[in-house]
Amino acid sequence: MMERGEASIALAALCKDMVYENWKTCSPSLYDWFTSHKLTDGSVPNTLIITNCDIVRPRVATADDISQFNEEEQSPFVKRYKTLLHPGEVNKIKELPQNSKIVATHTDSPDVFIWDLEAQPNRDPVNGAAESCPDLILTGHRENAEFALAMCPTEPFVLSGGQDKSVVLWSIQDYITSLGSTESGRSSLITKDSPKLVPRGVFEGHDATVEDVQFCPSSAQEFCSVGDDSCLILWDVRSGNAPVVKVEKAHDDDLHCVDWNAQDVNLILTGSADHTVRLFDRRNLTAGGVASPILKFGAHTAPLYSIQAKLNCYSPNAYFWCPDKASVFGTAADDGFLNIWDHDTVVGNNENARGLLFTHAGHRDRIMDFHWNPDEPWTLASISHDVSSTIGGDYLLYVVLQYCFVINLLILLWMDVRVSEIGRVGVLICGSDERRIR
């Protein structure tokens, strides 16, 4: 006889399959266009993949095209351009805003790897092949730094957090300056032994693993971090290495992700293992010594790891805020749903549903990451780890349209009616964001 616990798991799996089948039936009415792409079955080494993605725009894609996709096949719209063999699995990838050909990656080590995608040679993803050599290695963490990673929008700065409870800051410009302007200096970027760069600063204030970091959109000197100590911390390099503001118990459980609103720098979003998203105003983070969020959002049934306003939300590193409207953000979680919210529409006191605009139910398993595309209005990419479905798989891959996404096997892109014709977008697979490659 089936035990009660086994029966509950079987019932949950059946409900998830029913939700997915209902979503698939309704999908032609929900989206102007989307595509799904099976990345890998786990039989290849750890890879960083650069691709191009053709986006079919409204009035070109038909309802039949949308409804007849096969999630077990690779999409004809996603075309591989270059492959790197990454030293270790890719947990997170971020693109340097000042140069889209430069990306940083996190793996299961204390170091951050910097890659020049244009200079790196293309590699065949064959087991046993030698790994690609990073163009630069950022040192400074004492223990593994696996997820918390950010690039500064105004300066070539890199920010990281790790299991050593610290936040570490580097300037890529420091390395470029040390090379000088000689031809030999430039050619030394690719060597058998990658050059290393020490940090500009190490910031201590968390009491547990730092899960996510984010720069202030308007200042290279200010940034924030969240961690497993349930704290949200604001930092300012000009004030030294100690926290400027520390919000204790910002959530009721570990904090996994944070995002700063680029259109209103007073607004910060946080996502947590307590299944909720909270909106803070940095001018009034606490009241009577207690965390004082402006709003709480809670429609997920599992921990969040990514947020982005018309950024994102779910895994330990996702963005919240949308680039097309300042009040819109997205969240993704272990429950397999990607929710789109608008805090301007909030009415009433029911925090579980207020502000929810749309739920994407096209993933069968936990969503690893997602990101808004800043160049194509209302366009997103999301990545899931669909090991429990028939397509299976192990490897985390990332897709880049604007930033990079942690993607395992399935990429789903969708967009609304405000775009026309066919557009080509560069995609980098094996990271944690999405970004157009110019």
Residue 25: pLDDT band with limits 50, 70, 90: confident
Residue 421: band (very low, low, confident or very high) from pLDDT cuts 50, 70, 90:
very low
Query: Does this model's pTM top 0.85?
Result: no
Would you say residue 197 lies in a domain? yes
Average pLDDT over residues 357-383: 81
Residue 405 has pLDDT above 80, yes or no: no
Q: What is the mean pLDDT of residues 1-11?
A: 49
Residue 331, token pair as written in the block = 């969240």
Confidence of residue 259 (pLDDT cuts 50, 70, 90): very high
Give me the domain span that covers residue 78: 31-435
In a domain, 381, yes or no: yes
In a domain, 4, yes or no: no
Stretch 310-329: mean pLDDT: 61
Intra-chain end-to-end CA distance of the chain, in Å = 59
Min mean pLDDT across 59-63, 97-101, 359-363 is at: 59-63
- Res 215: pLDDT: 97
Q: Is residue 89 part of a domain?
A: yes
CA distance 379 to 415: 4
User: How many domains is the chain partitioned into structurally?
Assistant: 1
Is 5 among the domain residues?
no
Q: What is the CATH number of the domain that holds 259?
A: 2.130.10.10
| 16 in a structural domain | no
Whether 23 is covered by a domain: the verdict is no
pLDDT in tens, 199-219: 999 999 999 999 999 999 999
Q: What pLDDT sits at residue 32? A: 78
Share of residues in the chain with pLDDT > 70 (%): 71
Residue 42: what pLDDT?
A: 63
**What pLDDT was estimated at residue 433?**
34
* pLDDT at 388 exceeding the cut of 50: no
Residue 8 in domain: no
